[in-house]
Every structure is written in structure tokens, then in C-alpha cells.
A and B are shown apart, each in its own frame.
Chain A
Amino acid sequence: MLESGRVISFISIVLMFATVYYMLRKAEKEKVPHIRRIPALDAIDEAVGRATELGKPVLCHMGQTSRGVRGEWAGAILAGLSIMSHVASLCARLGARLIVAPAYPELLPLVIETVRDSYIAEGNLEGFKEDDIRFFSNQQWPWATGIMGTMEREKPAAHIGVGPFHGESLIIAEAGARVKAMSILGTPRKSQITFLIACADYTLIGEEVYAAGAYLSKDPGQIGTIAGQDWVKMAAIVLMILCTLTATLGSDILLNILKM
């Protein structure tokens, strides 16, 4: 029934789902677990506020990857969408201009609808400008060029981008630094994190990207899932230590079990 080589992975996923779901229900019924502050997410309010005070726009995007939501980074793109929705609500509330540059044409209608609904929810439909939702390209370098051009022309005060990045991450981060925009960037892609840390004011690293939606919503159930994830991480650490010990002692038994 199960594909060979994926039995243990399947069992792990089921156990993980069970643990996280248990913590979700526990947080909804009992005490909400305390999770640490994520400075980059807390800084979003400050960034939008800064843009409002300076009378400059906020530039928001969800990174770029050629396979879009069909690929392995769909989760990161959705996380970026959640953050974009939050930013749209803030901009609508504070009256800041929002420019969104999605690199995924298949998400364009969703982005337009999400931003419009955020403005409607804040009672500021007249502040919504569909022309400020700009698709440059789904290709890496044309999109990066579009972002650079928008930075130089519009001179945003805040640059918020969370999602998968490739080589263009340094270009857009540095372009934001050049116009003195407050940059909040985040990616789960390990090869790009270093560039964002070097150039952005605030960075979301790895799993912080996926936790963003839960963190910003402040929903007890969603925060419970982050706590559940940490329990799974503990189990993974214990397993790693056991595997290291058994491998060091010359036994492959644990590794062979995990490869089932």
C-alpha cells in the first residue's frame, strides 16, 4: 500500500499531524502557550506606520520562484500572502499607499481580491488602487528589474517581502537599502538567508516564515500549532542524537529503520 522507502516518513507525518493537532485543540480549550517574540513580524506595524508618517508607499511582495505555487515553495508563498494580507489591512487602516508586486500570475486575481477585501474590511475602499498591484514577470531577472525600478521611482518607506527568493534577493534587498526603505524580508531558502541578513533591517529565517500567519493572527489554535511543532522538533533532536550514537558505535540499525 505504501511506497517503499516512504513508510517511516508517512508514520512520522501522521504522528506529527497528531501532535500538532493535539496542541491546537489544547490551546483552544486551555491555556495559550507562550511563544517568543519574532521581531521581524512585530516590526511590520512600525514599518507601515513609518510609511504613513513620511507619506511614502509600502512595497510588498512574496518573493519569486519560477514554478510558483506548483513547486516546493508553495507554502512559503502562502505565508507571504498571509503577511501581505496583514500589511494590506494595516495600510488600509492607516491610509498608506500599498504597492504589491506578485511574481506569480496564477495568484494575481487572488492578490487583487485579497487586497481589495482587506481595504473593504477596514472601510477604506476608496484607498484601494488596482493599478498599484503590478505584475512584472514570473521570471527571475525581469521581476527583480521591476522591483528595482519601482524602488527608484516610488521610493517606498517600507519594503516587506516574504517568500522564496533566488539570486535576486541581494539585488532587491540592496535596492531597498539604497532608497533607505525599512526592509523586512524573509525566506526559508537557506542559500538566500545570508544575503537578507546582511542587507535587510529585519529578517525572517526558515520556520519563522511559516509561523508568520499564526503569529500575526494571534489565534490561540494557530499559536498552539507552533508549540506542537516545537515538540516535534524535540523528538527530532532526540532521534538525531540516538542515530549519531548508534552510527558512532558502528550500528546501522536505526538508519536502516529510518530508510524503510
Chain B
Amino acid sequence: MSEIYKKKIPLLITAFFLFIVILEYFLAVPFLKTVGLELQSWAVLIVAFAIGLGGVNITKHHLLRISNRDEDWYLSIWLLFLLALFVVVGIGFGQQSTYFKWLYINVYGALSSTTYSVLALFITSAAFRAFRARNFDASVLLISGFLVLIGNTPASASIWGGFPLIQEWIMKVPTAASTRVIVIGAALGMVTLALRIITGKETGFLGGAGEE
């Protein structure tokens, strides 16, 4: 009975909706289009409720950290304060209000940009660590990466007009070719995965209950 609830029914539901969505894309049947749009709305609603669940998870985790006085527990207080502030201001004054926009741009926006900026640091340390001529393949990667880097530099054309041309060739020919290969391979893999789900073969996402 437990296997029916935990394995068979979820697989049946997944396969059914997967089938509907695939058919909705290919068939010009108005009813299927309506069903497809309705499913999208259901998904949006589920995610909206799930965000609340995520909020509960965050709150629970950080309250536990505060009560246990874990490392940096005071940061958990700050996080919970900001969470509450955004919720109160957003619901109380509305998302169009000046207060919410100010909070969004100057807190969330600033922090997001900061984390994005960390990429610059990490790209630099990763380039220093990873771009080594260890073997033939790594050397080819190093040389082509270097040429693309030079070509991408805004001032490179002033040094030699050939740099941007080399960069453009590398991007348009070998890079584009390998990109196409990966895209086609991944697309075929996705279709195969869909078939495994429809036939009930792919049960890995059900966890231990999915294993025989």
C-alpha cells in the first residue's frame, strides 16, 4: 500500500501531466491549449504557496541557530529582521510604494550586485589556478582562452586589429560547433528522460521508496 502511494501514484500523475504538456505543444486543439495554460496557473499557485513553506524553513533553521548560539548566530537575527521587514513593508505599503522600492533597490539590489561582483574575484583566482598547460588539451584551452580574452579587451583593436578577428573566429567556428553539439545532445537526453518518466522507469527522484 505504501509503495502504491509513494511510488505508483506519483509516477502516474507525473506521466499523465508530462503527456498532456507534450501533446499541448504539438496539437492544435483549443481544449489542450486551455489545459496547458491552466496547468501553468496551477504551477504558479503551487510555487506561491511553496515560497511560504520556504520562508517557514528559513525561519525555523535560523531560530534554531539563535537558540543554540551557533557560530555567527547574531547574523541569523539580522536575517530574520530583514525577512520580516520586507514582508511587513511589502504587504503593508504595497510593492509599488516608495518604501518597498527603496528597500528593494538599496538592500536587495545592492546585495545582489555585490554577490554578482564576487564573480570578478573568483574568475581571477580560477583563471590563475585552472589555466595551466598541464597537457595538450589544457594547452589548447589555455591558448584559445587567452586569444579570446585579448580579443574581448576593449582596447585590443588599438594594439593590433587582428585580435578581435581571431576572437570572432574562435567564437563563431569551434565554440559555436561545440555549443551546437552540447545543445543537441542535451535535447536528446531530455527526451529520453521524458520517456523513462512516462514509462515509470525513472524513479530516482522518489528516493528510497523508488528502489526495489
- A2 lies within 8 A of B28 (CB): yes
- B57 lies within 8 A of A134 (CB): yes
Closest residue of chain B to A233, judged by CB?
A: B188
B170 to chain A, nearest CB (A): 13
Bound Cα distance from A135 to B110, whole angstroms: 22
B10 to chain A, nearest CB (A): 9
- B50 lies within 8 A of A170 (CB): no
- A105 lies within 8 A of B182 (CB): no
Q: With A78-B205, A170-B126, A210-B192 in contact, is A13–B22 under 8 Å at CB? A: yes
- Number of A interface residues at 8 Å Cβ cutoff, please give it: 93
A115 at the interface (CB under 8 A from B): yes
Bound Cα distance from A113 to B181, whole angstroms: 36
A108 at the interface (CB under 8 A from B): yes
- A109 lies within 8 A of B53 (CB): yes
A221 at the interface (CB under 8 A from B): yes
Chain A contacts for B115, CB-based, 8 A: 141-142, 144-145, 168, 171
Among residues 95 to 118 in chain A, which have CB atoms less than 8 Å away from a CB atom of chain B?
A: 104-106, 108-110, 113-118
B156 at the interface (CB under 8 A from A): no
Closest residue of chain B to A144, judged by CB?
A: B115
Interface of B is mostly: helix
Encoded as 1 (CB less than 8 Å from any B CB) or 0, chain A from 115 to 141 comes to 111111110000000010111111111
Bound Cα distance from A45 to B52, whole angstroms: 35
Among residues 1 to 43 in chain B, which have CB atoms less than 8 Å away from a CB atom of chain A?
A: 6, 22, 25-29, 40, 43
Chain B contacts for A43, CB-based, 8 A: none
Encoded as 1 (CB less than 8 Å from any A CB) or 0, chain B from 49 to 83 comes to 01101100110110010000001100000000000
B166 at the interface (CB under 8 A from A): no
- A229 lies within 8 A of B207 (CB): no
- A9 lies within 8 A of B204 (CB): no
A149 to chain B, nearest CB (A): 9
Partner of B189 from the list A17, A24, A173, A210 (CB cut-off 8 Å) is A210
B80 to chain A, nearest CB (A): 14
A232 at the interface (CB under 8 A from B): yes
A29 at the interface (CB under 8 A from B): no
- B186 lies within 8 A of A120 (CB): no
Chain A contacts for B205, CB-based, 8 A: 78, 81-82, 85, 110, 114, 213
Partner of A21 from the list B60, B184, B199, B202 (CB cut-off 8 Å) is B199
A222 to chain B, nearest CB (A): 5
Q: With A141-B116, A232-B188 in contact, is A24–B199 under 8 Å at CB? A: yes
Q: With A78-B197, A85-B208 in contact, is A6–B25 under 8 Å at CB? A: yes
Which of B92-100, B117-125, B157-165 forms part of the interface with chain A?
B117-125
Encoded as 1 (CB less than 8 Å from any A CB) or 0, chain B from 166 to 210 comes to 000000000000010111111011111111110101111111111
A185 at the interface (CB under 8 A from B): no
Bound Cα distance from A20 to B122, whole angstroms: 42
- 19 A-B residue pairings within 8 Å (CB atoms): A6-B26, A16-B191, A24-B201, A75-B194, A83-B204, A114-B206, A114-B208, A115-B207, A134-B58, A170-B119, A198-B131, A210-B189, A210-B190, A210-B193, A211-B192, A213-B196, A214-B202, A229-B189, A236-B188
Other A-B contacts than A78-B193, A210-B193, 15 sampled, CB-CB below 8 A, are A3-B25, A81-B205, A85-B210, A104-B50, A105-B54, A106-B46, A114-B206, A117-B206, A135-B57, A171-B119, A190-B182, A206-B181, A213-B204, A214-B202, A229-B192
- Residue positions of A touching B, CB distance < 8 A: 1-4, 6, 9-10, 13, 16-17, 20-21, 24, 68-70, 75-76, 78-79, 81-83, 85-86, 88-89, 104-106, 108-110, 113-122, 131, 133-142, 144-145, 153, 167-168, 170-171, 173-175, 177, 188, 190, 193, 195, 198-199, 205-214, 216-217, 219, 221-222, 225-226, 228-229, 232-233, 236
